Amino acid sequence: MNKVQSEFFEDLVAEKIAVTVFLINGVKLQGIITQQDENSLLLRRDGHTQLVFKHAVSTIMPNVAVNIAEE
């Protein structure tokens, strides 16, 4: 996993930022990413958790701005 992706996910998980996840097939999922690894992420909403494979994800859009420090 590259540095930008790693920092992005770390901030989303640590700050419990709500996101909208768009899949490559057009499906839209919403929730909070509770965990992630190099292949998948856990998305939680309304007490339910979904396992989402990263290869199926097109875009992750946080509901608030995420500040990733630039070097």
Q: Give the β-pairing of 57-62 and 18-23.
A: antiparallel
Domains of the chain: 3-62 (2.30.30.100)
- Cβ 44 vs Cβ 32: under 8 Å: yes
Structure confidence by residue, pLDDT tens digits, 6-62: 899 999 999 999 999 999 999 999 999 999 999 999 999 999 999 999 999 999 999
Residue 23: which residues within 8 A CB-CB, separation 6 or more?
29, 52, 56, 57, 58
- Cβ 60 vs Cβ 21: under 8 Å: yes
Q: How many CB atoms lie within 10 A of CB 48?
A: 8
What does the pLDDT read at residue 40? Answer: 96
Checking if the pLDDT of 1 tops 70, the result is no
